[in-house]
Every structure is written in C-alpha cells, then in structure tokens.
Amino acid sequence: MSTMNISLPDSLKSFVDEQVSQRGYGTSSEYVRELIRKDQERLHLRKLLLAGAASAPAGAADARYFEGLRDRVRKSGKAGAHE
C-alpha cells in the first residue's frame, strides 16, 4: 500500500477526527479511503446514467412492461426458494 500525506486546515482536521471517533473508523486513513471509494462509486454511477440517457429508448415503460418485470422477480424468487 502506498502512503500519501495531506495537509488540512485545523477545522477540517477536527471534522475528520470527529468522524473517525463517531463513526467507528480505526484511523483517519480508513475514513479517507471510504470517502474516496464512495466518490469512485458516484462517478461510476454518473457515467452509467449518462450512457443510459444518451442511448436510444428500448421501448415503452408502460403497465405491460412493469408487469413483465414483476413476473421476472416472482419467478426468480421462486427459483431461489428451492435452493
């Protein structure tokens, strides 16, 4: 694992220390790693949403479409119950 040193103003350092203490992180590094992971996930989701928005519609999302989704969920739930 690589090491990175960062400088924070006192107010941000206090905030980080408070979050570490209140949220059960072992160290400030764990807290910062979690923030970075969440930011990566957010950026990935944004990329997926933008790709979806730019794609052509696959079809109408009408009552029949949603009933088909419900059927798929019901069938997958029954299959999982037998395992």
Query: What is the C-alpha to C-alpha distance for residues 74 and 68, in angstroms, rounded to an integer?
Result: 10
Residue whose C-alpha is closest to residue 13's, from 40, 34, 26, 32: 32
Tell me the average pLDDT of the chain.
Answer: 93
What pTM value is reported for the model? 0.67
* Structure confidence at residue 78 as a pLDDT band (50, 70, 90): confident
